Amino acid sequence: MDRVSSFDEPLKKLLGGATAKVMAEHLDLHTVGDLLHHYPRRYEERGKLTALADLPLDEHVTVVAQVADARILMFNNGRGKRLEVTLTDGSGRLQLVFFGHGVHKPHKELLPGRQAMFAGKVSLFNRKMQLAHPTYQLLDASDADEATEAVDAFAGRLLPIYPACKQLDSWRIAKAVDAVLPSAQDAVDPLPAALREGRGFTPLPEALLKVHRPQTKADIEDAKARLKWDEAFVLQVALARRRYADTQLPAAARRPVADGLLDAFDAKLPFTLTEGQRKVSKEIFDDLATEHPMHRLLQGEVGSGKTMVALRAMLAVVDAGGQAAMLAPTEVLAQQHHRSITEMMGELAEGGMLGGSDRGTKVVLLTGSMGTAARRQALLDLVTGEAGIVIGTHALIEDKVQFHDLGLVVVDEQHRFGVEQRDALRSKGKQPPHLLVMTATPIPRTVAMTVFGDLETSVLDQLPAGRSPIASHVVPAKDKPHFLARAWERVREEVENGHQAYVVCPRIGDDTDEAEGKGGKKAKAKKAAPEEEGDKRPPLAVLEIADELRKGALAGLAVEVLHGRMHPDDKDDVMRRFAAGDVDVLVATTVIEVGVNVPNATAMVIMDADRFGVSQLHQLRGRVGRGSAPGLCLLVSEAHEASPARARLSAVAATLDGFELSRIDLEQRREGDVLGQAQSGVRSSLRMLTVIDDEEVIAAAREEAVAIVAADPELEHLPELRTVLAALLDKDREEYLDKG
């Protein structure tokens, strides 16, 4: 069998149809290679028993323990039979229960003193932990042949515990791995020999053997070090090749000109740019001046001045004869950007109009809900080049939108855009335009290197002068209802002092009873079963809370609502009135999360705060304290004091450092949600590597990858690496990396 094909062998050839089907459907394992890369989650030592004292409720667990006693009990007047087995391991005890016809075999086998491996879901019965009908494997079988086998398999060895599913236990997976393990010899090694030897890595076939069947703990460490490197390195090579390919594309260099729009704009700024803004602007201007398209990610906390940096880049491109487009995820945000940019530019945004500056340009807005006449005029201004800057939603991507000479695309809040949308806009330039992607979600460096690895990264990490600190507190509504009453008093006090407030809820609460997710997407709110009502009630809703506040705690104040399913004109009207100070309290969903800028808003109350992610809470909180008065953010929660949800909220209340919070967020959620569905190519290729813990590995792998691609962009001298890349980058993943 040749070297590659044994890894591509379908599992059903080696394991039989039934097992292969379960592996494919429940574990997404289809080939020998897939199974060899399905690594153990942890290892049990023979004789060392899992701590029964720390079993997690409602989780599928595997334990090694000894039978302390077993007894059959009758119930239902002798018609029903149940076998209760007590396990012990020195740290605690655990009850097993078998019912009906299922009691005969375990009753014979699970005798006091026997040791076995058990797997099942931990439940609570009569306040005691139990496993109902667990599957098990004896570790000290009485039959001589079986005993020899059991000793061979387990004595003195570390038992691999695999990520399993209800239909397939860890040890059945272990048996399947045994069947395919000889194929590990055929593994194609992606690491160039010089790199492998230079870093003293174990050869790949050996690493696979060691990870699945370690003799010692040192074997496990050896294998992990090697396998993590492979994952990081192959991914970073893919990204380095993408960046290299981008540098080969042609683009028009856009250099700022003296005494142009940018100089005129800078001259009228009422403040000086922060050092960070100057540094990042220089990185962007250097990129714009090259004849290859810029691909840059601009990260900055809410309010760190990203829009100012982006606007200056757009003005430089207009000075150089090109046009700039800013893509925003929602109409509210597009309108907000258009308003704030035209205000910042003043007469410079009125090129060709009466009272406009002779150095000015037109700044147009393009959204789906615009009237026909305004839309026609905007399209005309774009195709003739009258408009140097356009701000819009995905309406910008439609076929009928044509540019005179598109030089720069700025994408706000990257994670809300499909890659196809970004690509479609990029294809509107005569040559590929420069690309600047902005995000206010702080992304830890390693995630940026992995998820946005095809973009160079700039970070704005200081807030402009004049931004006020935000005090954050958790309000435990269930334990201390008077704290919630005090929260509404604080909102009233802020309003009496001439300020305004936001109240954020997870759900809209209209007839369709749906929760509003990120970006205004609709997600069904979970209906609680009556018995769980106390714990699992539906999330609080905007319309209901607004109604309660108007009649109760905030009676007499101007309370308005804002959510994603309102008509765009109504949304804009509410936002305008809120910005003008006519509305005291705005009760909203997360539509206010990005871009809404009302410096007079000083207080925010987030209802059901535990239903939001850490980074999202931080993002929402950034809406207050934008002026000279200090901000206040109250996180209302009914979560129990000792719960993980409360720990998350306390972390948010304890720091304003978004990067620190994004790290906490990532540690709690692991990579899955952070890399997101759009990044599934990355996610499904990471099995051993954890983006949060392996920063050094990722950074070192990136460095090696860049050097290798610079020396041999087509990897002509590294056929093995090319083979592994081709396997990783099947069509979907290739496209994902292609579009970033």
Could you tell me the two tokens for 45? 């030592």
3-state secondary structure of 205: helix
Q: What angle do CA 461, 682, 613 make, to 5 degrees?
A: 50
What's phi and psi for 136, nearest 5 deg?
-150, 160
pLDDT given at position 739: 44
The reported pLDDT for the residue numbered 140 is 60
pLDDT value of residue 736 = 47
What is the Cα–Cα distance from 640 to 21, expressed in whole angstroms?
42
Using DSSP bridges, classify how beta strands 60-75 and 115-125 pair: parallel, antiparallel or unpaired: antiparallel
**CA–CA separation, 245 vs 249, rounded Å?**
7
Q: Which two tokens stand for residue 619?
A: 């993002």
Closest CA to 189 of 175, 176, 173, 207: 207
Bridge-based pairing of strands 93-99 and 128-132 is parallel
Half-sphere CA count of 624, side-chain side, radius 13 A: 31
Q: Rounded distance, CA 257 to CA 270, Å? A: 22
Nearest CA-CA partner of 675 in 338, 341, 441? 441
Could you tell me how many residues make up the chain?
740
What is the distance between the alpha carbons of residues 489 and 406, in angstroms, rounded to a whole number? Answer: 52
Q: CA 302 to CA 579: how far, in whole Å?
A: 18
Question: In sequence order, what DSSP letters do the residues of 97-118 get, joined into one string?
Answer: EEEGGGGHHHHHH--TT-EEEE
CA-CA distances (angstroms) from residue 45 to 64, 86, 156?
9, 21, 8
Of 609, 568, 557, residue with least CA distance to 591:
568
Would the pTM count as exceeding 0.75?
no
Is there a contact between 277 and 322 (Cβ–Cβ < 8 Å)?
no
What is the predicted pLDDT for the residue at 709? 93
64: three-class secondary structure by DSSP: strand
Q: Look at residue 677 in the predicted model and tell me its pLDDT.
A: 34
Q: pLDDT value at position 605?
A: 95
Q: Which residues are bridge partners to 560 per DSSP?
A: 586
State residue 671's pLDDT score. 43
Which residue bears the tokens 């570390």?
Answer: 158
- Give the orientation angle of helix 261-268 with respect to helix 306-319, to 10 degrees: 140
Between CA 338 and CA 119 the distance in angstroms is 59
Q: How far is CA 276 from CA 435, 436, 463, 708, 733, in A?
A: 20, 17, 9, 32, 35
Contact 90, 49 (CB under 8 A): yes
Only one residue has tokens 């076939």, namely: 205
Residue 340: name the closest of 369, 311, 313 by CA: 311
Do 235 and 681 contact (CB within 8 A), yes or no? no
Question: In this structure, what token pair is assigned to residue 135?
Answer: 């599957």
Which candidate, 54, 10, 17, places its Cα nearest to that of 35? 10
User: Mean pLDDT of successive 10-residue segments in the chain (740 residues)?
Assistant: 61 85 87 89 64 74 83 82 87 86 84 83 83 79 53 60 83 88 88 90 93 91 91 88 84 88 90 88 94 87 81 94 89 84 86 67 89 90 91 82 90 62 72 86 70 77 70 88 91 94 87 47 38 57 90 92 85 87 92 71 92 84 82 90 84 80 66 39 57 78 91 90 76 46
DSSP state at residue 142: S
Give how far Cα 667 sits from Cα of 56, 532, 691, Å: 19, 29, 9
Helices (H), 676-730: 680-685, 695-711, 719-728
- Cα–Cα distances (Å) from 389 to 39, 282, 342, 349, 618, in that order, read 52, 21, 10, 9, 31
